[in-house]
Chain A
Amino acid sequence: MHELSIALKLVDLACEHASSCQEMQVDAVHIAVGALSHIHEPSLLSGFAIAREGTLVSEAELIIRQVPLVLACTDCERDFESSGIQDLRCPVCHGYSTQVRHGNELDLEFLSLRPRQDENISIGSVSNPARI
């Protein structure tokens, strides 16, 4: 259940950045989660829904970009995408000289904002906010 701790930290960080443009509403918080970061997505989404309450990102949706595991083999001098996270040896030479290039990410990438609408003016129905 470390996802709740991470969600709280994420909301703090997102609010820190959102506070510089309070005339805007945060529609979405976009994050990158690496395959090795041991995040259970439904728990992170639930944690985020709790953590955002009463904050500048209370209306924001959490959008997760999954980052696959990419390893670099220093013997073969090439990068390759790993099919799973249970075998980090080089699939070509089966050697142990691999390094994780991608897969440890746990990053806030960007916020999607739009001007706050005056609550007294109806601009028609807003369907799904545009996704990036």
Chain B
Amino acid sequence: MQEPRILQVRTQILKKNDELARSMREQFLQAGVFVSNWVSSPGSGKTTLLLETLTHLRNIGQRVAAIVGDLETDNDAQRLAQSGAPVRQIMTHGCCHLEANMVEEQLHNWSLSDFDYLFVENVGNLVCPTSWDLGESLRVALLSVTEGEDKPLKYPGLFNTSDVAVLTKIDLSGPCDFDRDRALENIQRVRPGMPVFELSAKSGEGLDRWFQFLIHQRSATMG
């Protein structure tokens, strides 16, 4: 039989998503909107922290908006809308992660230059969102103390592709026997040098530092 012929391709499988994400990122930067993509397991407290973040930033005169992804229901969008910010819900109907085109579709009829910050709350999942660039400038991985210290070791890819980690629900550290030192070490093992914020959206502890970080990151990104 004939020798097979080789057709070289050498292309990223997610090239279309990556190209779209890259052009969205440029669009966001030109419009002056700082975009972050929040990833974590379900129930880590993304929505609660995001509600506090939207509310605080609005109170200090920042223009904020949010897009939230879930398989079903618009419950999270309704909760986030309590902040007064414009919020859009993506229902993925089974898809375990957000893709750049899903976010792009939600941008229609929004004038991006009307916003200083756009927050994208991803589908709660510690595996699948890892590979998908949404055009964000900052990827935030959340880990609640109720999940245990070893989550970063179990799901290294998600932490490794994120820029910053947030330890949430620290008011529950005691009842959960949460080993803080071990958790911090595990985060550094899978993502050496990663900045970590420890906070409780409920008690308010650590929130100021988190808000300051976001404001600083936006300034640094926009130049």
**By the criterion CB–CB under 8 Å, are A10 and B13 in contact?**
yes
State which size class the interface on B falls in: 35 or more
**Chain A proximity mask over B1-26: 1 for CB below 8 Å, otherwise 0:** 11111111111111111000000000
Minimal Cβ-Cβ distance residue in B for A24: B5
Indicate the member of B13, B16, B191 with the most A CB atoms within 10 Å.
Answer: B13
**Which residues from A are CB-within-8-Å of B11?**
13, 107-108
Minimal Cβ-Cβ distance residue in B for A38: B157
Within the complex, the shortest CB–CB distance from B13 to chain A, in Å, comes to 5
A/B interface sample: 16 pairs, CB < 8 A: A5-B95, A6-B14, A6-B131, A13-B13, A38-B130, A87-B190, A88-B191, A97-B193, A106-B131, A107-B12, A108-B12, A108-B13, A109-B8, A112-B7, A114-B3, A132-B4
Q: Determine the main DSSP class of B at the interface with A.
A: mixed
**Which A residues form the contact surface with B (CB < 8 A)?**
1-2, 5-6, 9-10, 12-14, 17-18, 21, 24, 27-28, 31, 36-38, 85-89, 95-98, 100, 104, 106-115, 123, 126, 129-130, 132
Minimal Cβ-Cβ distance residue in A for B186: A86
Q: B97 contacts the other chain (Cβ, under 8 Å)? A: yes
Minimal Cβ-Cβ distance residue in B for A112: B4
The answer to whether residues A27 and B4 also contact, given A36-B156, A106-B13 and a CB cut-off of 8 A, is yes
**Which residues from A are CB-within-8-Å of B1?**
114, 123, 126, 130
Q: B96 contacts the other chain (Cβ, under 8 Å)? A: yes
**Which B residues form the contact surface with A (CB < 8 A)?**
1-17, 95-97, 99, 127-128, 130-132, 153, 155-158, 160-161, 188-193
**By the criterion CB–CB under 8 Å, are B189 and A86 in contact?**
yes
**Which residues from A are CB-within-8-Å of B188?**
89, 96
